């Protein structure tokens, strides 16, 4: 072998060794002052995102940028946290790096799909202040997202705030919801810089040349404080603002994940990234956790119906006829004048709820009950209510009016989640935070409001067509569709209202209509009788935030389709991207005199058309077709 050849081979080997030692399992790259980590690649058509952390030589400040396929997702953005005893936002020096791969398989009880795999590359970067205080910045990258969190290995006092922010190109399209403590702000379109000065929900969607990015948060517990986005008009910067001015800590701390779900719209809507980041289930036996359709009549009857045993029995009977597994009793059932006197030892004996539960059980229907958070805000109150409801046979609780993401309320969530699980009570939170990974850790949480839902009288069609790309990406959303009786109070058509039961995912799909409104629309009623509340798969067929959204969700060998549109009437074109073969597609749309149904046989991949009215939509069921198959309904 010649000298030149031996030299080139030696150089090649040395290069390979150097590559092995610098990339590691997390595929991280680094130079003297920057470190990068990329998500596992799945397809070349949809490249995985790449995070790059940089340390400024002069200021000692950290920043993080995200790209995808070499294109901008998030511009270099500040990273830092400040505590009573240490400032981790500047003057940092690098200590060391550790890489690993996270590969977890888990199964959920509800959501976009039941079987999940969390596959992420992780890099832990350690830094120190001049005084020797240590900060670990943990960065994870998957095929559909990037996230980071701060880990303080020692106690450095209470957290006074973060310098974390997200910088977007000024002209990036943005869909933002004004922040409210109940997370019920409406979503509207802006550009990153043109959005008015104010505070926005942290579930903000942006479109850059790197695709779409939904900002999010995961693994939020009572050890920290909820986040929102603060923005000054004229800039593309969105700062993390905590609900508390001071976050109490008493030892080492791992903050929630600051997450960026990113990719094309198909990737973003299908993503379970915020669940993947969260901690594993704390409920060992989940056999009692059963998602399902719920008949909920509050929007029609209000408190008088909630106070009437006779009315509730009628609703139970109607749910049983539809094979709906649950009926919800809202506010009023435990009110006697102003409220029950729970200090009276006979207060529980005065309730008619056990009689209703027995009536419902005989018909195969479970009862969900509404209860105000103030009735459960102390350990003593929870010790009264929760065992009693379990003993009566109630299946779940709808807890309302938390209206805060401050640390004390998050600590209450920690307590109530553990205790409702112990008493086999499924949960629907209203006036609440949003899931943020909660449904993986606590799988008995079937749904959360945290949305400007059907109850609102000012919703727009733009808002309705934005929710599938923002709030509902994060987790189950109790929008409560099906309120046909609210004509004039909702912005959409009857067919769109049917479609929302598919377009919007919820482990408890609370149908907000009345028996009379369903009987007047037998096609809608028959569709609702078919629909499940847990899905094997989810796909976006077509969509654009604020304009249209058509989602397909699979249950066994059937696909359920829901479409919602904003704007003028049109003939919508929908690709049937649900798999090869021939499919029978039964579509419900708006006709001149009410809902109508169409049937056609199509091949997977074909484009089918649906006539959509102004601010309208449609619903459909598709099943494998063969000669003799005439309907997908069972």
Q: Are 291 and 507 in contact (CB under 8 A)?
A: yes
Residue 498 to residues 505, 529, 548, Cα–Cα distance (Å): 13, 12, 15
3-state helix, strand, coil in the chain (%, to 5): 25, 35, 40
Nearest-CA neighbor of 48 among 218, 237, 267? 267
Six-digit token string for 359: 């009536």
| Distance from C-alpha of 451 to C-alpha of 432, rounded to nearest angstrom | 9
Which listed residue (400, 497, 505, 590) is catalytic? 400
Whether 217 is catalytic is no
| Distance from C-alpha of 546 to C-alpha of 465, rounded to nearest angstrom | 5
Q: Are 222 and 413 in contact (CB under 8 A)?
A: yes
| Distance from C-alpha of 202 to C-alpha of 615, rounded to nearest angstrom | 27
C-alpha 549, offset from chain centre = 16
User: Residues near 604 by Cβ (< 8 Å), separated by ≥ 6?
Assistant: 576, 577, 578, 579, 580, 581, 582, 583
| Distance from C-alpha of 618 to C-alpha of 597, rounded to nearest angstrom | 10
Six-digit token string for 92: 């940092």
Q: Are 174 and 204 in contact (CB under 8 A)?
A: yes
Whether 419 is catalytic is no
Six-digit token string for 324: 């709906």
User: Residues near 434 by Cβ (< 8 Å), separated by ≥ 6?
Assistant: 183, 203, 448, 450, 451, 471, 474, 475
| Three-state DSSP state, 546 | coil
Which listed residue (122, 144, 455, 586) is catalytic? 455
| Distance from C-alpha of 525 to C-alpha of 515, rounded to nearest angstrom | 9
User: Residues near 87 by Cβ (< 8 Å), separated by ≥ 6?
Assistant: 129
Q: Are 386 and 420 in contact (CB under 8 A)?
A: yes
Residues in the chain: 634
| Distance from C-alpha of 470 to C-alpha of 614, rounded to nearest angstrom | 23
Strand partners, 148: 139, 258
Nearest-CA neighbor of 467 among 240, 476, 458? 476
Active site residues: 400, 455
């Amino acid at each position: 072998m010649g000298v030149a050849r031996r030299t080139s081979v030696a150089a090649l080997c040395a290069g390979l060794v150097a590559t092995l030692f610098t990339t590691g399992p997390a595929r991280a790259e680094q130079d003297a002052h920057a470190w990068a980590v990329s998500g596992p690649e799945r397809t070349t058509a949809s490249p995985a995102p790449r995070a790059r952390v940089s340390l400024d030589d002069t200021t000692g400040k950290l920043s993080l940028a995200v790209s995808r396929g070499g294109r901008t997702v998030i511009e270099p953005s500040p990273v830092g946290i400040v505590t009573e005893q240490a400032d981790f936002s500047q003057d940092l020096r690098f200590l060391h790096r550790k890489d690993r791969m996270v590969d977890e398989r888990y199964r959920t009880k509800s959501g976009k799909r039941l079987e999940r795999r969390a596959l992420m590359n992780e890099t832990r970067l350690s830094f120190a202040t001049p005084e020797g205080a240590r900060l670990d910045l943990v960065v994870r990258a998957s095929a559909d997202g990037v996230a980071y969190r701060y880990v303080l290995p020692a106690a450095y006092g209470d957290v006074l705030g973060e310098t974390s922010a997200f910088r977007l190109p000024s002209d990036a399209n943005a869909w933002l919801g004004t922040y409210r403590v109940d997370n019920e702000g409406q979503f509207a379109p802006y550009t990153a810089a043109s959005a008015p000065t104010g505070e926005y929900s942290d579930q903000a969607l942006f479109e850059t040349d790197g695709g779409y990015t939904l900002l999010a948060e995961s693994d939020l517990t009572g050890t920290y404080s909820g986040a929102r986005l603060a923005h000054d008009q004229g800039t593309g910067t969105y700062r993390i603002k905590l609900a508390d001015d001071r976050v109490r800590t008493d030892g080492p701390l791992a903050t929630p994940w600051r997450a960026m779900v990113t990719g094309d719209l198909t990737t973003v809507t299908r993503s379970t990234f915020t669940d993947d980041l969260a901690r594993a289930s704390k409920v060992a036996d989940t056999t009692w956790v059963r998602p399902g359709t719920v008949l909920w009549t509050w929007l029609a009857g209000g408190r008088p119906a909630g106070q009437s045993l006779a009315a509730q029995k009628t609703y139970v009977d109607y749910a049983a006829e539809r094979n709906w597994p649950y009926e919800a009793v809202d506010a009023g059932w435990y009110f006697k004048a102003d409220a029950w006197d729970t200090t009276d030892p006979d207060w529980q004996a005065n309730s008619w709820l056990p009689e209703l539960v027995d009536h419902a059980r005989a018909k195969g229907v479970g009862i969900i009950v509404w209860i105000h958070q103030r009735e459960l805000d102390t350990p003593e109150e929870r010790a009264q209510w929760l065992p009693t409801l379990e003993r009566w046979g109630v299946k779940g609780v709808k807890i309302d009016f938390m209206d805060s993401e401050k640390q004390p309320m998050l600590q209450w969530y920690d307590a109530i989640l553990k205790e409702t699980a112990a008493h086999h009570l499924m949960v629907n939170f209203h006036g609440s935070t949003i899931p943020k990974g909660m449904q993986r850790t606590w799988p008995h949480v079937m749904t959360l409001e945290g949305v400007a839902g059907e109850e609102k009288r000012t919703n727009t069609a733009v808002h309705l067509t934005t929710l599938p790309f923002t709030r509902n990406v994060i987790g189950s959303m109790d929008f409560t569709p099906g309120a046909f009786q609210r004509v004039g109070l909702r912005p959409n058509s009857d067919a769109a209202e049917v479609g929302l039961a598919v377009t919007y995912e919820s482990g408890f799909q609370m149908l907000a209509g009345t028996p009379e409104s369903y009987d007047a629309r037998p096609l809608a009623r028959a569709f609702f009788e078919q629909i499940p509340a847990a899905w094997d798969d989810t796909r976006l067929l077509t969509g654009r935030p604020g304009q249209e959204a058509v989602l397909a969700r699979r249950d066994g060998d059937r696909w359920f389709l829901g479409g919602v549109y904003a704007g003028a009437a049109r003939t919508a074109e929908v690709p049937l991207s649900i798999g090869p073969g021939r499919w029978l597609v039964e579509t419900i749309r708006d006709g001149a005199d009410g809902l109508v149904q169409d049937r056609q046989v199509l091949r997977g991949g074909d484009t089918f058309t649906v006539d959509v009215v102004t601010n309208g939509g449609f619903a459909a069921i598709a099943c494998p077709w063969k000669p003799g198959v005439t309907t997908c309904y069972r």
